[in-house]
Amino acid sequence: MKVLITGGAGFLGSHLVDLLLKEGNEVICLDNLITGSMDNLAHLQDNKKFRFIKQDVTEYIKIDGPIDYVLHFASPASPIDYQKYPIQTLKVGALGAHKTLGLAKTKTAKFLLASTSEVYGDPLVNPQRENYWGNVNAIGPRGMYDEAKRFAEAMTMAYHRYHGIDTRIARIFNTFGERMRKKDGRVVPTFITQALANEPLTVFGDGSQTRSFCYVSDMIEGLYKLMLSVIHEPINLGNPQEMTILDFAKKIIELTKSKSKIVYKPLPQDDPKVRRPDISKARKLLKWEPKISLEEGLKKTIAWFKKSKEA
């Protein structure tokens, strides 16, 4: 198959590129590199089945020849990034979805949207199921990301219903692993970087807010299975094991054998109090669930951050 992926130089995108190539596919990657990095793709420079195009996906996309799949993964994905690039975040969710869906329509290609658990906002139900409509502050400090993804989902379903495009929507919950940027603002790289430097771990609020963490290899497997499926409704992908941020900080200190202490800072506005996927649909329809334990995944990730720090 020939697959086009936007945002393929990012954390998740680059891991998905690796799996697609491993499965024998040709891959074209589009990325403007505002948050992605060519370091994530450096090992592919001599791969004849891989092609990189530096382009903003909100502009017209012209690709010669047939394409079997279009995967839209381009977007800033952490609070630091989407608050630094609020307009770009909205545009990649709206115009980027429009351009990639248009390409899928032109090429009669299948389409997969990388959506997010953030479409649920600060949820009033826990765990979150796909039929929950969410609790989102459209004009709040996280609104640009939440609403960009919600619009992208609506656009995807409109193209499916009106144009008959063969679409899929992945609602991706917190994922971690190798190739995360040290300063992308998300809790895993932040805590690991602080712990390895024996600096205080910054916990917002009292640390009672919960998250669930899925190791990257599990997430990529789930995304690939969804890509090959015929499921058009959104599917949650993530690890249903939930823990508080305070317990997570303690776990990082334990695994890194750090001398770090924990310090507390005010909770940011609209920071979700709970975040846990109900993956019943993924288990039933994709025969997928995470296999890597939190501790095993964290050990691999910490080892990568240590190596990256020494390089």
Catalytic residues: 145
288 vs 88, 147, 211, 274, CA distance in Å? 33, 28, 20, 23
For residue 48, the one-letter residue type is: K
